Structure 1
């Protein structure tokens, strides 16, 4: 450990961190190239070749030219995923909580004595089926 002073260790950690961040940025750009539906196939191929053959220049130019729309695509994808999750939850739980409301009404009718326990169970089974 005496051959490798603490400052050199910090420099090595800094360069390793920058290297990892660089690959993260490169993969983010490549993912964005394929996700963008407004680009033609040849434009995607051109950006991809530019980013892989001249990686530093290609990524920096891509961020300069298409960086703002990259953030917009990220936000649009997040909104679409959120809408899909909401739609799935509503479909699974029942639209608007209708089955829950109906079950509550049945329970109220049973508690008031308007429905017998047998009628309540039949209606509940029918509602939940």
Structure 2
């Protein structure tokens, strides 16, 4: 089964993302900051990481840099989540190793499209 890690300091975003990803046949874990997410990745590297950029303790940028330097840290597809539409911030995230970005708020269709862009195409006939 495909696995996902949702990293966001908002409990609401984590809950919404979890529900969407579970309907897309992902086993989902979550963390409220980069420190906890890094620990979870050390235990088991997920297939996909949905990553908030602005969090306490360790932000998304610091997490992503450390993830990409870790053992198997190049494997997960990272979708960084943002409320900002600043092209500079998006470019910085992509340079740091994010595979794609997703704007908040998002819904199931947007999530499916972004997952498809990074190689996790859903079998629509099974998921609708």
> Same fold by TM-score, threshold 0.5 exceeded?
no
Coarse TM-score class (shorter-chain normalised)? under 0.3
The normalised TM-score by structure 2 is 0.20
- The structure in which a higher percent of residues are strand is 2
Normalized per residue, the structure richer in helix is 1
Q: Which has the larger radius of gyration?
A: 1
